Copies of this chain bind each other. A is one copy, B any other.
Amino acid sequence: MSDTSIDHLLPFLLRRNNVARYENGVVFIGDRRKYPFEKVFVRCPDVECVAHAIEIMVTQGGGPSLAAMYAMVMAARQVDGKAKSEARDYLQKARLRLVNTRPTNTALSLRLAKAMDVVDKAIANGDSIEESLLNWIEKSRDKMYKHYAIKGRLGADLIEDGDGILTMCFAETAFLLCVAMAKQDGKDIRVFTPETRPYLQGARLTAPSVHELGIPVQVIGDNMPAHILSQGKVQKYFTAADLVTLDGHVVNKIGTFQNAIAAHYHGVPYFVFAWGPDREKPDRASVVIEERDPAEMRSCRGAPTTAAEIDAYYPAFDITPPHLVAGVITEHGILSSYDLKRYFA
């Protein structure tokens, strides 16, 4: 299944060209900070601009990896015609700058390591680095969308007619495909999206995207999942993962963990859409949780939420232990969080 065959099932935000794209030496990144109030793109003419855009949360989830891959293509064009060693040094520096943007989600770092392999092969073969990277990105995106379709189907088959579904943050393509397919299968479903402070990804990205698919959705506060669960309104809890460790710990947007505890308390299973574990992350001790500027926790869409002199704390992710995870949904199936090594060692 090529990615275009699922594009029609996806909402605006997740359509191929709206995440990030490369056009004539420039990277355009869909600005998720402004959605749904504005549908605009940040135009980046150099690597530093892309790195900064990732740092200031222009995009999130799978967006940073894609934007960073296109930044490498842009850098490759910028060194076109230069000596091989100079070109490689420049691209190596670009990679490091991009890797250092976000410490928790290691997918970006893994993808960029692969990009450097492509660069080295192109240099060795005397091929165009820009073309080689573009071809590689195209192929990996096709594979990625094929896996999204597999995961969406696995998730959709878990959903029963009448289910209420809790999610957190913006679980992106696999999750949106999952609910789109469940609806296509004739299942009557309803989604609850905690707003996900401070950036409101649940309220701004997930809720409008689910609504666009014609599925009933309600925004709730991040303080409400347990209450909604206690009312019997939720039968499944699904999120994406920024990182899964080899021993099955799920690292995702802050709040995912307490929803998982509340779901477990109420007997509701928690499923995670993931690419698989990060082989370099054996356990929770190996995970670095990004702590962002406390000032981001003291305002909401520009309006201050407390007095300026008050301290705040903003860890951006949390870690859910494997015993709270009912299954990790990958292209290999719905795996036990205790059995990931067998498929991804």
Contact = CB atoms under 8 A, between A and B. Distances in A.
Interface of A: 36-37, 168, 192, 194-198, 200, 203-204, 207-208, 211, 216-228, 230, 253-255, 257-258, 261-262, 265, 294, 297-298, 300-307, 309-315, 318-319
B303 A301 contact: yes
A284 to B, nearest CB: 9
Residue with the greatest number of chain B CB neighbours at <10 A, chosen from A194, A225, A261, A314? A261
Nearest to A258: B226
Contact of A222 (B192, B197, B257, B306): B197
A279 B196 CA distance: 38
Number of copies: 2
Contacts of A310: 203, 207-208, 211, 217, 219
B305 A203 contact: yes
Contacts of A315: 224, 227-228
Given A300-B300, A305-B203, A261 B311 contact: no
A308 to B, nearest CB: 9
Given A224-B255, A319-B230, A313 B219 contact: yes
B223 A305 contact: no
A224 B224 CA distance: 13
A298 B220 CA distance: 9
Contact of A196 (B203, B223, B294): B223
A307 B211 CA distance: 10
A304 to B, nearest CB: 7
Given A223-B194, A303-B301, A313 B218 contact: yes
Contacts of A218: 294, 311-313
Given A227-B258, A305-B200, A311 B222 contact: no
B312 A220 contact: yes
A313 B302 CA distance: 23
A307 to B, nearest CB: 4
Contacts of A211: 307, 309-310
A195 to B, nearest CB: 6
B220 A222 contact: no
Contact of A305 (B204, B304, B309): B204
A222 B222 contact: yes
Contact of A223 (B222, B300, B301): B222
Contacts of A204: 305-306
16 contacts: A192-B313, A197-B221, A197-B223, A198-B221, A203-B306, A204-B305, A207-B310, A220-B312, A220-B314, A223-B255, A223-B258, A224-B318, A227-B315, A261-B265, A300-B301, A303-B303
Contacts of A224: 254-255, 258, 313, 315, 318
A258 B221 contact: no
A304 B301 contact: yes
